[in-house]
Amino acid sequence: MPDDPYPVSHRWRFTGWLLAAVWLIFLNTALDAALHQEQVWRRVLGVATLVAFGLGYVLAFEWGRLMRRSARPIPPGRAWAILGGLLALGLAGIPGTGGEWMSTLVFVAAAAIFLLPTRPAVVVVLLAAVTPMLLGLLVPGWGAERTILFAVLLAALAMFGVSRLAQRNAELHAAQAEIRRLAVAEERARTARDLHDILGHSLTVVAVKAELAGRLLELDPARAATEIADVERLAREALADVRGTVGAYRGVGLGTELAGARSALTAAGIRAELPEGLPELPAERDELFGWAVREGVTNVVRHSGARRCEIRVTATAVEVRDDGRGPAPGSDGAGHGLVGLRERARRWDATVTVGRRPDGPGFLLRVAVPDGEG
C-alpha cells in the first residue's frame, strides 16, 4: 500500500478498516450455506473462499481509500485486476455455497464504484444487478434472486456516497497541506524582507562611516576614531537586530528611525532636515512610518547623490524627499526594500508613492494612510 502523506491516528485507521469489514455481515447466508454442506471438501472450499473474499474486499477498500487520501489516481489496470480477483473467488466458492455465491456480487459492485471511473463502474453495477435474474432463468434449480438485484443497487448508491466523501476529504487534506506550505513560504518571505531592510540600512551606514573614517584618518585622527567607534556600535546593533528578527518579529519605531536617519545622513555628508516634533501615532502606524523612513533614508544615502534630505511627518503620512538625481529613467521603484514596504503598507490600507519630486529635482517617497485609520 502507498504511504499516506496525511497521517491519521490508529483509532481512525481502525475505523476505516471497520467501515469496510462491517458490511461483510451480508455474506452470512453464503457462509451458512457452506457450513451446512454434507461433504467436508465443499464446506472447507466454501468457507475458505468466503474468508479470502472478505479479506480481499477489505484490503481493496483500504488500498483505494489510501490512494484517495494521497491524491493519487487509482490505476485502472490494478482496479480491474482486483475486481476480477473478487469475482473469481466468488465463482470458485460455488461448490460450497451454491446459489448463495451471488451475494458476493453486491461487494463486487460496491468495489467497482469505489475503484473505477463512473462509466465503467456503472457498467459493472448493471451487470452485477442483472446476473442473478439471468442465472435464475438459465440455470435449473436457481431461482431469480430479486433481493440481490436490490442489494446491488443499494450497495452501489451507498458506496457512491462513501467515495464522494473520501474524495472531498482528500481534497480537504490537500487544501490544508497547501495552506501550510503557503504559510511557511510567507513566513520565510517576511523574514527575508526584514533581514534585507535591517541589514541594507545598517550596512549602508557602516560603509559610509568607514569611508569617512578612512578619509579622516590622517586629517583628523580623533574624528576618525569617533567614526570607527560608531561603525563598531552600528555593527553590534545590526547583529542584535538580526538576532531579534530571527527569534521574533522586530518592531521598528519612527522616533528611533529618525535618530538613525540623522546619524546616517550626517555621516554621508547630506544635510538632514527632520521634524522637530512628532504627532501621537497608533503603534501600527508608528511602525509603518518607521519602516518608510528607514527605506527612504537608505535609498538617499546609497543612490541619490543628494546634498539635502527632508523628512516630513503628519498624523496620516510620512515623506522622505531629497534634491539628488531622482529616479532612474524607466524605474518603477520596485527594489527589494520598496517591495517589502509596499507589502507592509497593504496590511493597513496605506498607499506608497515613489517617484520624482513634483516641486523640483530629486526623489520622493511618501507613505499615507486613509484619514480616520486607527
| 3-class DSSP assignment, residue 4 | coil
Instruction: Starting at the earlier edge strand, list the strands of the sheet with 308-313.
Output: 271-273, 308-313, 317-322, 363-368, 351-356
Distance CA 372, CA 374 (A): 6
Of 183, 126, 192, nearest to 153 (Cα)?
126
Task: Report pLDDT for 260.
Answer: 83
**Dihedral sign, CA of 41, 46, 47, 53?**
positive
| Predicted local confidence at residue 373, as pLDDT | 56
Beta pairing class for 351-356 and 308-313: unpaired
Residue that has been written with the C-alpha cell 496590511 in this structure: 347
Phi, psi torsion values for 53, nearest 5 degrees: -65, -50
| pLDDT recorded at residue 12 | 45
- Alpha helix positions (H), the chain: 10-21, 28-35, 40-69, 76-92, 94-97, 104-115, 118-138, 146-219, 221-247, 254-267, 283-299, 336-347
Q: pLDDT digit of tens for each residue in the chain (374 aa)?
A: 444 444 444 444 555 566 667 778 888 888 888 888 889 999 999 899 999 998 998 888 888 887 877 767 888 899 999 999 999 998 898 898 887 888 888 889 888 888 888 899 889 888 888 887 777 667 666 555 667 777 788 877 877 777 777 667 766 766 766 776 766 566 566 666 666 666 666 677 777 777 777 877 777 878 878 878 777 777 777 766 666 665 444 557 888 888 888 888 887 888 999 998 888 888 889 988 988 998 888 888 887 788 999 999 999 999 999 988 877 665 555 555 677 788 888 888 899 998 888 877 888 999 999 876 55
Q: Which three cell numbers stand for residue 300?
A: 538617499
pLDDT at 316: 92
Note the pLDDT of residue 2: 43
